[in-house]
Amino acid sequence: MVKLSARLQSLFNMVTPGYVICDIGCDHGFLSIALIEQGVCPFAYAMDLRKDPLARAREHIEEAGLSDKIELRLSDGAEELKKDEADSVVIAGMGGNVMMHILENGKEVLSSVKELILQPQSELKGFREYLFKEGYRLIAEDMVEEDGKYYPMMKVSPPGEINGENAWAKKPEEKDFLYGPLLLKERHPVLYEYLQRELGIKNEILSGLPEKRHQRAEEVKESIHLIESILEVW
């Protein structure tokens, strides 16, 4: 049975049991393999833009004896996914801007899924702002630390989906877009560690700025004040 990293295990935990999964950017295919092996999903589509990762995924899938349960596709984002094929879509391990591009280009087909599990590696504020603006419903959030890196992730339902809860406030605050409304609400312990680290980094940046960089200093001070205000009421 395949052993997952902390990051992949957290993504695994977000998938709704019984759903057909599509992993976009599947890399080695370990997430799809684990979901099938442990009986969470009945079938999986594993997709990647590059041939080499798909070749490695094929080797691992064959070793696990799951070639009849996991279909591999060479695909740019959701391009090769057909409407109503998957219930749950995972897009993880990419920059936020790349993921926004995938969501934009795949709007039609992704509107037919029940949930999307998203783990952007960068541009987090802009990515969350995009989801809110486009009408994605926020269902759950999680965050893990692995090898010194922090990985926030979220489960959303596509725009137009009326079922399920929505954790977005009508007017989310700046801190919600920066750090995640549910992570903040639930006082997630890994977010607390991340904020502590960020506070230290920003204080170092501020102390190292030359006096003439007034605008940059003010921006850093605002970030420090926001983090301090969050930690004060933790």
Among the listed residues 187, 206, 201, 193, the one whose alpha carbon sits nearest the alpha carbon of residue 150: 193
Pairing status of strand 137-146 against strand 115-120: unpaired
User: Model confidence at 162, in pLDDT bands (50, 70, 90)?
Assistant: low
pLDDT for the residue 23: 98
Cα-flanking dihedrals φ and ψ of residue 149, to 5°?
Answer: -110, 150
Distance CA 120, CA 118 (A): 6
pLDDT for the residue 161: 64
Q: For the chain, what percent of residues have pLDDT higher than 90?
A: 88
User: Model confidence at 68, in pLDDT bands (50, 70, 90)?
Assistant: very high
Whether 54 has a pLDDT exceeding 80, the answer reads yes
Q: Which class is domain 6-169?
A: alpha beta
pLDDT for the residue 163: 58
pLDDT for the residue 147: 93
> What 3-state DSSP class applies to 122?
coil
pTM above 0.75, yes or no: yes
Give 91-108 pLDDT, tens digit per residue.
Answer: 999 999 999 999 999 999
Whether 151 has a pLDDT exceeding 90, the answer reads yes
Judging by beta carbons within 10 Å of its beta carbon (0-12, 13-18, 19+), is residue 172 exposed, middle or buried?
middle
pLDDT for the residue 208: 84
Whether 67 has a pLDDT exceeding 70, the answer reads yes
Give 11-42 pLDDT, tens digit per residue.
Answer: 999 999 999 999 999 989 999 999 999 999 99
Give 115-136 pLDDT, tens digit per residue.
Answer: 999 999 999 999 999 999 999 9
pLDDT for the residue 232: 94
Among the listed residues 44, 47, 45, 43, the one whose alpha carbon sits nearest the alpha carbon of residue 24: 47
